[in-house]
Amino acid sequence: MIDMLFHKVSTLKICTVFPPAEPKEIAAAGSYLVSRGLAAVPEEYEAFLRLSSGMSFDGVEFYGAVPHPRRQYVFPDLITAAEPYCKYEYFKNKIVIGRLSESIILYNANEEIYALIDRVNLRSRMEWPTFEELFRYMMKISYVEP
């Protein structure tokens, strides 16, 4: 189902889509994250990465398996996004998969949920049991009908 939602968003003018991640890129990112005490890349997010190694639309960013240099900016990957958080106990067994404005989008492997958290106080603003539900919500707030 995520592939249908992805294709709907990817056709929008406000959307930037990157090429699909290679299986070895996904595996390398996952291995690195686990070696740093963070969560492995969940299967649902791996399915997304096989469609696009990163995506941005209307202020929503989902990070890819590799960084993507742009004209004056490098669109971050899961590893780059994780680096500042590896030293904090709060982020153990979690991974940052994206952002929305001033909020962090993460996967919490302890609770098996996706969450939108405040980047300053780390309080959860919203939580979803699946990546698909998170993605649908991001579409909704961007006025894209799922």
CATH number reported for the structural domain that contains residue 15 in this entry: 3.40.1580.10
Look at residue 76 in the predicted model and tell me its pLDDT: 95
List the one residue out of 86, 133, 25, 27 whose CA is nearest residue 96. 86
Q: Let me know if residue 48 belongs to a domain.
A: yes
Domain with 115, as residue range(s), is 2-141
- pLDDT score, position 56: 94
Instruction: Return the pLDDT at 73.
Output: 87
* Within-domain flag for 146: no
Q: What is the structure's pLDDT at 83?
A: 92
What is the structure's pLDDT at 145?
67
Asked if the structure places residue 24 within a domain, the reply is: yes
Q: pLDDT value at position 146?
A: 57
Contact 132, 44 (CB under 8 A): yes
Residue 140 is predicted with a pLDDT of 86
- 98, part of any domain: yes
pLDDT at 133: 96
Q: Which two tokens stand for residue 64?
A: 């890819």
Ranges of residues in the chain whose predicted pLDDT is under 70 = 143-146
Residue-wise pLDDT tens digits, 22-54: 999 999 999 999 999 999 999 999 999 999 999
Number of domains in the chain: 1
